[in-house]
Amino acid sequence: MFVAAEAREFSGLLPFCESVKKLDWPLEWARTARLNGRRVYLAANGAGPKLAAKAVDFARYALQDGNPEGVVSVGFCGGLDRSLRIGDVFVADGIQIGDQTAPIEAPRSARKFARGTLVSIDRVAQTAEEKRDLCSGGALAVDMEAAGVYSRVREWERPFYCIRSVTDLADESFHIDLNATRRADGRFSTSRIILAAIRRPLTAGPELFKLRSRCVTAAKTLGEFIADCSF
């Protein structure tokens, strides 16, 4: 099972899938498909650990026959190490949650990828300064959902993996306060993002356009990598 925040994070993987079918799950987006001859489940339920955990909770309820064999937290991430570039694939071999870092399994792949500790927090790492602080704790990349997925998979006693693709760099800050655009449930509000862009058209508008382009690149490299992985 693959768990992301948004459906667009699967856009690079879907071309490699066969027999894609919509699942009637109470999540924002859920599909089942066949990838390299194996049945897979793809779910996206919004940003942050709580919504990611809910996706795993429902899958555990729905798949009472013991599937899946493992769970993968996938999607985009922010780079904390300056060597990471846009679209680079990052495979976590450790996940940092608060002050604790837990080792996790890593898939096998002949493709090039970066590897190290990922810190998972319930907010966007908004500024270059915050990213430096997070990096000082030993993490090379940051995301928002892996902690939620890991907390449930650990209880489920299934193998856990985390694969990400970089959409923002260590020395970059966002002009839009993305954390302020989240709704009470944790999801990002499109209307709030648009309103923020309207208020700062000279900086926020180009930033959103650039981020959208980067997400397309990151989704493509992520999908290609996962399609070639062995778990």
Based on the number of CB atoms within 10 Å of its own CB, is 84 exposed (0-12), middle (13-18) or buried (19 or more)?
Answer: buried
In sequence order, which ranges of 157-231 are alpha helices (DSSP H)?
190-199, 204-227
Nearest to 86 by CA among 191, 161, 165, 171: 165
- Residue 91: pLDDT above 70? yes
Going along the chain from its start, the domains and CATH numbers come out as 2-227 (3.40.50.1580)
Residue at 202: amino acid letter: L
Mean pLDDT value across residues 123-136: 97
CA distances from 34 to 3, 17, 116, 127, 182 (A): 16, 6, 29, 39, 33
| 93 pLDDT tier (thresholds 50, 70, 90) | very high
How far apart (Å, rounded) are the C-alpha atoms in residues 88 and 71?
21
pTM of the model: 0.95
Based on the number of CB atoms within 10 Å of its own CB, is 85 exposed (0-12), middle (13-18) or buried (19 or more)?
Answer: exposed
Nearest to 82 by CA among 137, 123, 135: 135
Rounded to the nearest 10°, the torsion over CA 101, 97, 31, 106 is -10
Residue at 77: amino acid letter: C
pLDDT digit string (tens) for 20-77?
999 999 999 999 999 999 999 999 999 999 999 999 999 999 987 767 889 999 999 9
- Residue 200: pLDDT above 90? no
pLDDT digit string (tens) for 131-177?
999 999 999 999 999 999 999 999 888 899 999 999 999 999 999 99
Rg (CA), the chain: 17
What pLDDT is attached to residue 66? 65
Contact (CB, 8 A) for 107 and 115: no
- Residue 201: pLDDT above 90? no
What pLDDT is attached to residue 197? 86
155: CB partners within 8 A, 6+ apart? none
